[in-house]
Amino acid sequence: MQKKENLARIIFHIDMNQFFCSVAQILDPSLKGTAFAIGRENTTKGVLSTASYEARKYGIHSAMATSEAYKLLPSLRVISIDYKYYKYYHYRFIDVVKEYTDQIEVASIDEVYADMTEISKKIHPTIIAKEIQLKLLKEYKLPCSIGIAPTLFLAKMASDLKKPLGLTILRKKDIKDILYPLSVKEIFGIGKKTYPRLIENKINTIADFMNPDNKELILKLIGSNTYNYAYNSLTGNSSNKVDPDRWSDSQSISEVRTYDQPKGSLDEALYEIRLIFKEVYNKMKKQSYYTKTVNITLRDTSFKTITRQKTLDEYTDDYYLLLDETLDLVEENFEDKEYRLLGCGLSNLVSPENLPKEYNLFTILTDDEKLNNIDNLMEELQSKYGKKALFWNKTSK
């Protein structure tokens, strides 16, 4: 009898443990074993991005107001790290995973999904996972947890089960034994504003959530979209496709970030979008492009994703104009819900030599050309209205 081929995919979710804190400790070893957090230095304003394990013992956590954290621990060290260091170690992380597969989907700066189906035909997936953990820890001092499962959702759930340096295999037949006893707040995609409503109504565990007798009540509490997404995912009927090109677009430059703690306020979202936009803009300038279209991506905790864009009248590389238009889009489309992914981008990109002839001179020309045009305009006005009618100080920039 011919042996039945196993068609299940082998998906890894590789999650860096306290990535931002790990990078901070690499840059400053004196931080090891101390209570510290990542945020804005020398101020009580803003919120924390994350906190070290030692700080968490005092109740300090990500998305907590810095002022509140200082009340819990006045001696807390709050530090800020240049984002370029996070990007550097992110790429080292990706390089290690690429030694095993090119089927990698970047979920955020500190987590990826990787399809290890092919290489697992030669090497057992647990051996691969342990090798990746060891390489990241030994070569870069970066700890990670890995979940192995047949779908992206289950791999993510598995990686969250053991931290730090955890390794968990979650097969469909193990779902009831491993996941059902967990609290509903552990369901990936259920936001911090959603699960309390479930618990208040005695939907305490994943087993309660999956109980058909509770379906009508849960639908009233969280709606059909969130319910159907979570229910199907918890039965193993969700995507097993790792898409390396999910966010790629050859005619645009964009960045997205996902958050363990979803962003529930407009102020938080605008703050994050400003940081993301700066990266996108710098990439555009590095390639000497101009643009006339800005876009945003917002994904809530039920995985409903919206994308919006606005096309300007003229091509430009004006940082503040493009930023303002991007922030306006966010304000226009932000709703009273929690968002786990935020992103923005610039499209309709053209190089200087390919600019259409009708572009606006003051928007597009080089700095020298702009100054020459301003000089010519001023000379024309001064010839009509006198030398003192209009003047400017070129050295005051």
Same domain, 24 and 164: yes
Same domain, 46 and 155: yes
In a domain, 7, yes or no: yes
In a domain, 360, yes or no: no
Residue-number span of the structural domain to which 233 is assigned: 173-242
Asked if 383 and 289 count as a contact pair (C-beta separation under 8 A), the reply is: no
In a domain, 193, yes or no: yes
CA–CA distance, 270 with 281 (Å, rounded to integer): 16
CA–CA distance, 211 with 196 (Å, rounded to integer): 18
In a domain, 82, yes or no: yes
Same domain, 113 and 60: yes
Predicted local confidence at residue 43, as pLDDT: 86
Predicted local confidence at residue 384, as pLDDT: 56
Pick from 109, 112, 92: nearest CA to 49:
109
The count of structural domains within the chain is 4
Same domain, 150 and 55: yes
Asked if 136 and 15 count as a contact pair (C-beta separation under 8 A), the reply is: no
Name the stretches of the chain with pLDDT < 50: 1-4, 248-250, 358-371, 373, 389-397
In a domain, 195, yes or no: yes
- Separation in Å, CA 396 to CA 347, 392, 393: 34, 9, 6
Residue 255 catalytic?
no
CA–CA distance, 143 with 16 (Å, rounded to integer): 6
Same domain, 109 and 194: no
In a domain, 359, yes or no: no
Predicted local confidence at residue 386, as pLDDT: 59
Q: How many CB atoms lie within 10 A of CB 310?
A: 14
- CA angle (230, 260, 106) in 5-degree steps: 85
Phi, psi of 317 (to 5 degrees): -130, 25
Predicted local confidence at residue 364, as pLDDT: 47
Predicted local confidence at residue 387, as pLDDT: 55
Same domain, 271 and 350: yes
CA–CA distance, 346 with 117 (Å, rounded to integer): 35
Predicted local confidence at residue 375, as pLDDT: 57
Same domain, 108 and 161: yes
Same domain, 164 and 183: no
Same domain, 155 and 35: yes
In a domain, 10, yes or no: yes
Predicted local confidence at residue 381, as pLDDT: 57
Query: Of 111, 255, 272, 325, which one is the catalytic site residue?
Result: 111
